[in-house]
Structure 1
Amino acid sequence: MPESISDAAPLRILLSEPALRDHGAAISAALGARRWSRVEPPEVADPRAIDADIAFVSRDVTGRSTKHELQPATQRFYIAMREAPSLRWTHTHSAGADRPVFGQLRARGVAVTTSSGANAGVVAQTALAGLLALARHLPQMLDAQRERRWAPLLGAGMPRDLHGQTATIVGWGPIGQQLGAVLRLLGLSVVVVRQRATPAGEGFEAVTFADLPAVLPRTDWLILACPLTDQTRGLVDAAALDSLPEGARLLNVSRGEVVDEPALVAALRAGRLAGAYLDVYAHEPLPADSPIWTLPNVIATPHSAGFSDGNAARVADIFLDNLRRWIAQSPLRNAVP
């Protein structure tokens, strides 16, 4: 007779201790009668063999690690995923899966899903905050405050009205869509850059990536909210920055590699670009000797645009939904192609 689901071998899930504590009961509920066990990542130097069917990369696993510099706890988890011969599916808390480990897993046939959308609202709010801060010259006013200097925004320092300006949003996923809706309410014209020039909704102009050079000369705000792909890597180079009109500004909440960083620094130093809000960089953490730290027309944050205390629950909801789908052999949400 066929084996019942309750008699099947326990499902082995690689996850952290905090994730087990926070989501263990919900995982059991999602699996129903199917038994499961937690797999703990071994120490880096531990020769013990490890295996798992599923891996859940929660936010605490990556901690302060970046894709360029891994902390020991993150390294342990990544090694465990690489060395688990039965691993069939990995879910990550992040919206993207451009860290090398995920490419390595996909190359050997492991399904990878992301938490795209979980922090989209938070990232859109942060990008909007950066835009408004630059538009209203808040960095200059904060400098004046620290110097106890009374410096009203008069004469050449007077901000331009946002109403009537043009924002070009590269990437029309959940972040771009939420940001675009708010910018339209503020009276900006919004150009959407996406794979195909299919309609992006009433009031939005949609173009393809091939059309980006044509819209840059009328772009006051170039907003990057796209994933890192072969098409977007180095998309904003020196030529693109030179094509922007005088007084234009750039916001990057996508990935640092989308922009030619030396060209960006040169454009900011020369005043060809009036300012930038940057949350991502070519190398993270941003090196201490990077000129970006001290450029007066830059707001630089440490890849934190999506941090918020509600994200963990939203990530868990996506993982648990996918877990039910995986058990039912249904298509997974946010699967990386």
Structure 2
Amino acid sequence: MIQILMSEASHLRIRDRIAHLVQRLEIVTVPEANRYVRDGVDIPAGDLAPEIVWNTQEAYMSGLLPSLMRVLLDSPSARWLQTFNAGLDLPIFRRIMEKGVRITKSSAQGVVIAEYVLAHALSLIVPIDAQRDLQARREWGRTPYREVSQTRWLLVGYGAIGEQIALRARAFGVDLTVVRRGSEAGLAHRVLPLARIAEALPESDVVVLACALTDETRNLCNDAFFSAMKPGALLLNIGRGGLVDEDALRRGLESQRPAHAVLDVFQTEPLPEDHWIWTHPQVRVSAHTSNSGDGVQPRADAQFIANLERYLGGEPLTNEAERSEVGLD
């Protein structure tokens, strides 16, 4: 029997869909912090030996993450963690991989984050605010703008989320450059390595940050980055707050490089109440919530179930992380 640990709510969502697998599984659920239940009976944490741990966004939001991760780190039998995270920059993931535990990431949030990016970019390219202001003044005026299909986009990062952004941006006919490792273009018109990003900045109307936070990308958006941007360009960050030097961003905004910034992530979260970003007229703020679409959890459940079937069948897992993603090897 393979012991699997998950929150009680997660189990209730999928139990009927994994009924055909239960004869091979010993399911332990976490109904509340530091409480573990097997077959309706409470058991001490020290008696647990999970081989599989499922870390869901719902468990994170309800404060159960420490109860899951503590057992995972203590268990010598742990072999696989399925997490709701798309990026693995938190130190705990390195500790988990150092134990020899495989980690599969979630791609469930890619759709909704891509919709978030496109919605904000389109609303800033098309002069919706100007049209609303004219309406408020009852003025019959023209609002010319550059068509979306005539814009050039620079997408930094091409993982599961980046690919979903590219799919939607290309549907609008944009010219797309991707910064990524490797040379495979995918949906992009061209590919550049990170070291050559400055070549694309002067001609990019929209810059989207969808890459992982690493030693190489920390404070990627610094004074030199913003100085190289095209005046009037847009910056959207749905990656990690550490990608952007926020003081350099403020200086860049003063010179319209970028003209607007859409930020879902920040150096410090929650964003301090007295931070200048809250009230800056050229900045849009959301509270690390670009992944809050109602389709994320169903997609995450389906991904875990499919991976569970693959794991039990000895098949390769989808979206499995490489050791280099947590700074190993």
TM-score calculated relative to the size of structure 2: 0.85
The gaps in structure 2 that reach 5 residues or longer are: 37-43, 323-329
In the alignment, structure 1 segments of 5+ residues that lack a partner are 1-9, 65-71
1:174-209 deviation per Cα after TM superposition (whole angstroms, max 9, x unaligned): 3333333433343422111111233334x7122221
Aligned to 1:108: 99
Q: Distance in 1 between matches of 2:22 and 2:212?
A: 35
CA distance in 2, matches of 1:12, 1:151: 67
Could you list the per-position Cα deviations for residues 56-109 of structure 1 after superposition, in whole angstroms to 9, with x for gaps in the alignment? 011111117xxxxxxx53333332322223211110122222233222111111
2:61 pairs with 1:52: no
Tell me what 2:137 maps to. 150
- Tell me which stretches of 4 or more aligned residues in structure 1 moved more than 4 Å: 41-48, 137-142, 151-155
For 2:45 and 2:109, how far apart are their aligned partners in 1? 36
Alpha-carbon spacing, 1:12–1:115, altered in 2? closer, same or farther (3 Å)? same
Q: Which moved more, 1:98-107 or 1:173-182?
A: 173-182
Residues 331 and 187 of structure 1: CA distance in aligned 2, closer, same or farther (over 3 Å): closer
Equivalenced residues, count: 314
Paired position in structure 1 for 2:154: 168
8 Å contact kept, 1:52–1:87? yes
Counterpart position of 1:7: none
**How far is the alpha carbon of 1:332 from its aligned partner?**
1.4
CA distance in 2, matches of 1:153, 1:110: 63
Q: 1:196 aligns with which of 182, 186, 190?
A: 182
Query: Matched residues in 2 for 1:245 and 1:25: separation?
Result: 53
Structure 1 residue matching 2:179: 3-state secondary structure: strand
CA distance in 1, matches of 2:189, 2:226: 23
* Aligned position for 2:40: none
Q: Distance in 2 between matches of 1:108 and 1:127?
A: 36
SS at match of 1:25: coil
Cross-structure match for 1:95: 86
Equivalent residue letter for 2:174: L
| Residue 41 (structure 2) aligns with | none
The superposition leaves residues 150-191 of structure 1 with CA deviations (integer Å, 9 ceiling, x where unpaired) of 286979x86443342211111223333333343334342211
Cα distance change, pair 152–75 in 1 and its aligned pair in 2 (3 A)? farther
Distance 1:42 1:121 in 2: 30
Aligned with residue 134 of structure 1, among 96, 118, 124: 124
CA contact (8 A) 1:13 1:37 kept: yes
**Contact 1:14 1:41 (C-alpha < 8 Å) held by counterparts:** no
Whether 1:326 aligns to 2:311 is yes
**Other structure's SS at 2:198 match:** helix
Question: Which residue identity does 1:278 align to in structure 2?
Answer: L
Q: CA deviation at 1:138?
A: 4.3
| 1:255-281 CA-partner distances (Å, limit 9, x unpaired) | 112222221133224533200111111
From 273, 283, 288, give the equivalent of 1:288.
Answer: 273
Q: CA RMSD in A?
A: 2.8
| Map 1:1-337 → 2, pairs under 5 A | 10-29=1-20, 31=21, 33-40=23-30, 43=33, 48-49=45-46, 50-63=48-61, 72-116=63-107, 118-138=108-128, 149-150=136-137, 159-201=145-187, 204-337=189-322
